[in-house]
Amino acid sequence: MSINPIELLKQKVTPVFLNDQDGLTSQKNALLSRFYPIFLSILMAKPELIQKLKDSISPSLAVLFGQDEQLKDTFLSKLTDGQLSNIEAEQTLTQAIPKSMAALTSEAGNDTQSILHYLQHHADSIRSLLPVWAVGLLAPLGLISSSSATTSNLANSPVNGAGKSRVWLPIVALIILALLVAWLWKSCQQQQVAVPIDNRSDSSASEVAANVTPATFSLRTDDKGDVSQCHTGIGDQGLFAAMQAKVKEVFSSAQDCTLDTATNYAASFTDQAGLAGVLGLLKGVPNVSLDWVGNKLTLKGGDFAKLNELAGKIKALVPNTEVVVETEDNTAQTVTNSLNAAQDALANIDSNQVDINAVIKALNLQIINFATASHQILEENKAILDKAAILMKNVKDNKLTVAGYTDSTGNATSNKALSLKRAQAVVDYLVSQGVDAAQLSAVGHGADHPVADNATEEGRFKNRRIEFSVTP
């Protein structure tokens, strides 16, 4: 006979979780005990959430309640009963959910049906521990089976005989109805009550928000559909580690994702729970780039029809994120043409009589097409810089300035920092190829001095550039 799921979680999850806690262990223990029957009942009522939680890169209450913040806050307030703050409770449950899914998988099996069958086998005992308020709050929304209303109240009632059970049914129904009406009335009151506004606090909050850059994630695949480049900008180190592990798992790759730590990024993405599914869709698709910035996800690649098909599948996984498709036909050809022109110009320079102005002109012919929010130099550009480095070592008296520019999208402070990092990356690479560091300097201008209209994609592409010049 299989172990009761609630006892399983109390044995496998609670002790491991509480061992890592610094305080409030008794309150968190009680919180988990109250949460388990509700959590398991939700999984029985919504089996699709089982796979969604398993696939999620950071399973949390958001997967259970979606974007309904009011419902989540009401649920947490009822569940904590004043023993913990809502924030503390949410953090506790967010850490416990993945451990709970791992325990259920280990006991019942890895597929959704096995876990569902296991829970249904113990359905009566699970529902018997459901609090009345949880049934009243969640059953009308379909998050708990309506049959739980009777089970949760009658299973522990000392009533003998069918006649007495029938007497309790209308009472239970009235209790549930009263709770639901009270919750709805409270929600309406919360919306109608005017809250005094502290303009100074709002101003401070606005300043903080203005200094936070939306989280970013960019990934490119090679001609075999394997990951060739991965870059992340996010303010949560734990989430970054989980994202990197998921990239390696999905693509069976040992390649690390780079992390931008110099910018104040947001700690999460919109719809980040769908990231694992998005990565699964990208695997095996050749020459595609994904740029995810906050609540906007952009796909680029050569085959517009295939990109649109891919975008349709991705939209189902990230319903609150804008998914945009852009072709790279013109961009890719423009970059290739620029690289060929730079190669030809460098090849025509006499290494014994190097004209530094000719070297600069050749370098400025190339386009270094950095990935979104990244300062990684692409391999095709390194070949250009290698040739330039050989020539520059023959004119040690000349000094060069490498200037980085961005388009006007995003935060101005972050753009200036990114442009400097890109320029410095070019300087560092030339130094690694033997150029004297004293000959080079890097500067970042951000979106200043645009060469094209930032209102168009073509203009923004032209404004994202690296320029070389002789240092005065």
Query: What pLDDT does residue 202 have?
Result: 41
Number of domains in the chain: 3
Query: What pLDDT does residue 328 have?
Result: 57
Query: What pLDDT does residue 331 have?
Result: 73
84 domain residue, yes or no = yes
- Do 11 and 155 share a domain, yes or no? yes
Lowest mean pLDDT segment, chosen from 53-62, 67-76, 437-446: 53-62
Q: 348 — phi, psi (to 5°)?
A: -90, 0
Where among 310, 326, 342 does a domain terminate?
A: 326
- Do 318 and 378 share a domain, yes or no? no
- Do 418 and 391 share a domain, yes or no? yes
Q: What is the DSSP string of 331-400?
A: HHHHHHHHHHHHHHHHHTS-TTS--HHHHHHHHHHS---PPTT--PPPHHHHHHHHHHHHHHTT-TT--E
73 domain residue, yes or no = yes
pTM metric for this prediction? 0.45
pLDDT beyond 80 at 280 = yes
Query: What pLDDT does residue 422 have?
Result: 95
- Do 304 and 335 share a domain, yes or no? no
Query: What pLDDT does residue 177 have?
Result: 59
- The residue to which tokens 């300087």 are assigned: 427
Average pLDDT over residues 448-459: 84
Q: For the chain, what is the mean pLDDT?
A: 81
Query: What pLDDT does residue 161 have?
Result: 45
pLDDT beyond 90 at 212 = no
pLDDT beyond 60 at 356 = yes
Q: At what angle do helices 356-365 and 329-347 cross, to 10 degrees?
A: 160
pLDDT tens per residue across span 221-279: 888 889 988 888 888 777 788 888 888 888 988 878 888 766 678 877 788 878 888 99
- CATH number of domain containing 258: 3.40.1520.20
- Do 322 and 188 share a domain, yes or no? no
For residues 438 and 134, the model is more confident at 438
199 domain residue, yes or no = no
Where among 192, 209, 236 does a domain terminate?
A: 192
Range of the domain at 253: 217-326
392 domain residue, yes or no = yes
- Do 288 and 352 share a domain, yes or no? no
Residue 65's pLDDT band (cuts 50, 70, 90): confident
- Do 20 and 163 share a domain, yes or no? yes
Phi and psi based region of residue 330 (left: phi greater than 0; alpha: psi -120 to 50; beta: remaining): alpha
Query: What pLDDT does residue 253 have?
Result: 84
In the sheet that 465-470 helps form, which strands lie side by side, from edge to edge?
A: 440-444, 400-405, 465-470
418 domain residue, yes or no = yes
Query: CB–CB of 464/370 below 8 Å?
Result: yes
pLDDT beyond 50 at 198 = no
Q: Which two tokens stand for residue 205?
A: 């909050």
Q: Which two tokens stand for residue 211?
A: 């200094």
- Do 299 and 336 share a domain, yes or no? no
Where among 307, 326, 345 does a domain terminate?
A: 326
For residues 77 and 268, the model is more confident at 77
Lowest mean pLDDT segment, chosen from 169-173, 193-197, 221-225, 325-329: 193-197
Distance of alpha carbon 216 from alpha carbon 373, whole angstroms: 7
- Do 222 and 144 share a domain, yes or no? no
- Do 159 and 30 share a domain, yes or no? yes
In DSSP terms, 298 is beta-bridged to 291, 324
- CATH number of domain containing 387: 3.30.1330.60
- Do 154 and 69 share a domain, yes or no? yes
- Do 319 and 366 share a domain, yes or no? no
202 domain residue, yes or no = no
In DSSP terms, 299 is beta-bridged to 290, 325
261 domain residue, yes or no = yes
pLDDT tens per residue across span 31-47: 999 999 998 998 998 88
Query: What pLDDT does residue 201 have?
Result: 39
pLDDT tens per residue across span 157-167: 444 444 444 54
pLDDT tens per residue across span 97-137: 888 888 898 898 888 899 999 999 999 888 888 888 888 77
> Would strands 216-221 and 288-293 be described as parallel, antiparallel, or unpaired?
antiparallel
282 domain residue, yes or no = yes
Query: What pLDDT does residue 143 have?
Result: 66
- The residue to which tokens 């280990």 are assigned: 106
Q: What is the DSSP string of 151-210?
A: HHHHTTS---SHHHHHHHHHHHHHHHHHHHHHHHHHHHHHHHSPPP--HHHHHHHHHHHH
Residue 63, Cβ density class (10 Å: 0-12 exposed, 13-18 middle, ≥19 buried): middle
Query: What pLDDT does residue 209 have?
Result: 44
Contact residues for 278 (Cβ-Cβ < 8 A; gap 6+): 290, 297, 314, 317, 318
Query: What pLDDT does residue 387 have?
Result: 94
Degrees to nearest 5, angle at CA 419 with 335 and 363: 40
